[in-house]
Structure 1
Amino acid sequence: MIVVMEPGATQEQIETVVKRVAEFGFGTKIVVGAERSIVGVLGAPLPDTLKEALELLPGVEEVVRITKRYKLVSRDFHPIDTVVHVRDVAIGGNEVAVIAGPCSVESEEQIIETARAVKAAGARLLRGGAYKPRTSPYEFRGLGETGLKYLAKAREETGLPIVTEVLSPQDVDLVAEYADVLQVGARNCQNYLLLEAVGKAKKPVLLKRGMSVQIEEWLLAAEYVMAQGNEQVILCERGIRTFETFTRNTLDLAAVPVVKRLSHLPIIVDPSHGTGRWYLVPSMMLAAVAAGADGLIVEVHPNPDHALSDGAQSLTFENFATVMPRLAAVAQAVGRSLPLPQVPEAETALSPAD
């Protein structure tokens, strides 16, 4: 349920609404807009008597029931787009944010080299897995805390904020010591204990869509995070499992405008996992931004042929640098921005005068 206040409603009138809701035993969340404020009522089931009581209060324009099962995530509840701030990077605003780096942190040299290369090409955040969920228990599963330390060193060297995955509730505190964004991977999209744990961590959360998860289920997963008081949630479309086998997954770019319609949360796209083939990644990067994505998360590796995980879908430094100017052009075409680092002009040698 949301209480829409009249334009010009006073702070005292808003506080009266909050107090009345509390008398019924429910919580509230206030959203201040440019023209009017909205008071969201949290809890269920909400009695009709509460709606009637709120409609009588001064400054209340209307009381509307939200029929969707997700409340905090819903655009009905929060009509203004949320912008998640990660250090000096805004995700969800006008600028398209690109997150890039290797699937797995393999060594200090590898992650620092990659961080420098992706920053030089225009990436704003660094990704890298220290803990890796793998289909087979015999595959490389990450360096653990050592990998986190290498990521922190790469941030120190380049200034790029860190995005890395956390696998279990027990690891949240440790990963949060190092990471700027806690990633919940596709396999854990409906791990509700983990969702609650990252919600309590009070750090930005990047929530990937599960490979067989419907959009409503995905938004309800985000609701678990936000219900813990954490409003810094970034959704990530990374492809879903279908009958098609040529690509690793089927990248559902229609999910971008759908989520934009249903939710106020920013949404980014992962074309690496969405396709599983590096040569498809650049095209899907462009398409994602054209579809309205607020950012991208892309796998980049110094030597994909020797990567310990996901080499087939990783871009080389050169391929990543080549696509970024094209990506900036698409962003500009759809009314967004993607600033790229200025490349210093080569010094021109002057011939000595005769």
Structure 2
Amino acid sequence: MKLDLNIQPLSTWINTGKEPLVIAGPCSAETEDQLVATAHLLAKTGKVAALRAGIWKPRTRPGEFEGIGSIGLEWLKRAKQETGLPTAVEVATAKHVEEALAAGVDILWVGARSTANPFTVQEIADALKGTDVPVMVKNPVNPDLSLWVGALERINRAGITKLAAIHRGFSSHGASTFRNEPMWDLAISLKTHAPDLPIINDPSHITGNRDLIGYISQKAFDLDMQGVMIESHIDPSVAWTDAKQQVTPAALVEIIENITLRKPEVKNAAVSDKLAELRSKIDKIDDLLIQKVAERMTIAEQIGKHKKDNNITILQVNRWEEILKKTTDYGKALKLSPEFTEKFLELVHAESIRRQGLILNEGLDQPKENLTHA
């Protein structure tokens, strides 16, 4: 399903001539000197298209630094006047929108916590009506594509056509290399639903670690995202917020210069022909995969009938664990990651369980289910 968004090209509201497109600046505006000095260093790189800074900071717990507040907008105005860089800030309330626009802020973004709350998004959307300011919408904290899409739709229906999404990763349980799991599949899904919607990657919030920013940035561009938003501070060691994920302007230059940009279009005939040949092979294998999965489901239904006739439960945990271990080990031998093999098996197993459940409970009123596994 394609999203019906009325949006203008990215080039109408930001300088896309600076490749790659980079929005950079401190996580938080802390002092006027800190913000303006950082802005000058970023402008001198010649690689930054816009200056970002947190003015109001929604924090997880009270008592933490929650942003310098409205005075920081005056600092941003000075930084813009002295460097020529357009400015961008996060807004979370109608009052934020009004103050930011009054201060001449060029780009607004809706944060992850705000995106997760439709009431908040609608309040922001209502405050934006009648304006022409560009707005970027971060993905919600939790992996919920509908919330992300809904927020984009609300902002767009308020008349905002200079619109983009920001992919900043998602919260997840358990230990992880990243502060927020990228869950690239959700960003790809958004791209599929809205091909013309620009997506800006936020490697700072995904990684929480300055050493991984280059890696995530490269992957984002490899997936045809249109730019990156990177937190940069004149001296990250003394930053008041998120010190570990900020980089100096000099380090930012190094990250950008190491990025390889690849084009989605193929203009070379020989390269195009080779891609077409390889894709044809993949198409044939995909057809076989679907055919074999369908055959498996037919057998699963036969098992379901046998279980029903003999009053056997649908799920046998020992059998599932046996399949999981055996197939994951086999996948490793074939150079498939255990994570991929397990996720694939879980999807197939969930569908098998669903089909067997229909057979065992045939004749009963059954709600529609959406059986998915994390």
TM-superposed CA distance for 1:213, in Å, is: 4.0
TM-superposed CA distance for 1:243, in Å, is: 2.3
Cα-Cα RMSD: 2.3
TM-superposed CA distance for 1:197, in Å, is: 2.9
Residue 187 of structure 1 aligns to a residue whose secondary structure is helix
Give the Cα–Cα distance (whole angstroms) in 1 for the partners of residues 250 and 186 of structure 2. Answer: 30
Q: Evaluate the alpha carbon distance shift between residue 120 and residue 324 of structure 1 in structure 2; reply closer, same or farther with a 3 A threshold.
A: farther
TM-superposed CA distance for 1:335, in Å, is: 6.6
Alignment of 1:103-122 (within 5 A): 103-121=27-45, 122=47
- Pick the aligned partner of 1:173 from 84, 87, 98: 98
TM-superposed CA distance for 1:137, in Å, is: 1.6
TM-superposed CA distance for 1:100, in Å, is: 0.3
Residue 166 of structure 2: aligned partner = 236
Give the Cα–Cα distance (whole angstroms) in 2 for the partners of residues 322 and 95 of structure 1. Answer: 14
Deviates more, 1:276-285 or 1:213-222: 213-222
Give the counterpart letter for 1:148 in structure 2: L
Residue 65 of structure 2: aligned partner = 140
Give the counterpart letter for 2:253 in structure 1: A
Give the Cα–Cα distance (whole angstroms) in 1 for the partners of residues 124 and 154 of structure 2. Answer: 6
Residue 247 of structure 2: aligned partner = 315
- Deviations along 1:93-124, whole A, 9 cap, x unmatched? 99542000000001111111211222233111
Indicate the structure with greater strand content. 1
Residue 28 of structure 1: aligned partner = none
Residue 146 of structure 2: aligned partner = 216
Residue 89 of structure 1: aligned partner = 15
Indicate the structure with greater helix content. 2
TM-score using structure 2 length: 0.64
- Deviations along 1:141-164, whole A, 9 cap, x unmatched? 111111011011111111111110
Q: Evaluate the alpha carbon distance shift between residue 207 and residue 95 of structure 1 in structure 2; reply closer, same or farther with a 3 A threshold.
A: same
- Pick the aligned partner of 1:304 from 211, 218, 236: 236
TM-superposed CA distance for 1:128, in Å, is: 0.2
Residue 109 of structure 2 aligns to a residue whose secondary structure is strand
Q: Evaluate the alpha carbon distance shift between residue 202 and residue 196 of structure 1 in structure 2; reply closer, same or farther with a 3 A threshold.
A: same
Residue 159 of structure 2 aligns to a residue whose secondary structure is coil
Residue 109 of structure 2: aligned partner = 183
TM-superposed CA distance for 1:198, in Å, is: 4.9
- Pick the aligned partner of 1:124 from 49, 53, 66: 49
Give the Cα–Cα distance (whole angstroms) in 1 for the partners of residues 109 and 101 of structure 2. Answer: 10
Decide whether the 8 Å contact of 1:237 with 1:252 is kept in 2. Answer: no
Deviates more, 1:263-272 or 1:314-323: 314-323
Greater C-alpha Rg: 2
Residue 302 of structure 2: aligned partner = none
- Pick the aligned partner of 2:203 from 271, 275, 278: 271
Residue 190 of structure 2 aligns to a residue whose secondary structure is helix
Unaligned runs of 5+ in 1: 1-67, 337-354
- Deviations along 1:41-88, whole A, 9 cap, x unmatched? xxxxxxxxxxxxxxxxxxxxxxxxxxx5x8533xxxx6xx84135655
Decide whether the 8 Å contact of 1:195 with 1:224 is kept in 2. Answer: no
Decide whether the 8 Å contact of 2:21 with 2:49 is kept in 1. Answer: yes
- Pick the aligned partner of 1:197 from 126, 136, 140: 126
Give the Cα–Cα distance (whole angstroms) in 2 for the partners of residues 199 and 213 of structure 1. Answer: 26
Residue 366 of structure 2: aligned partner = none
Give the Cα–Cα distance (whole angstroms) in 2 for the partners of residues 232 and 242 of structure 1. Answer: 31
Give the Cα–Cα distance (whole angstroms) in 2 for the partners of residues 94 and 124 of structure 1. Answer: 7
Give the Cα–Cα distance (whole angstroms) in 1 for the partners of residues 227 and 158 of structure 2. Answer: 25
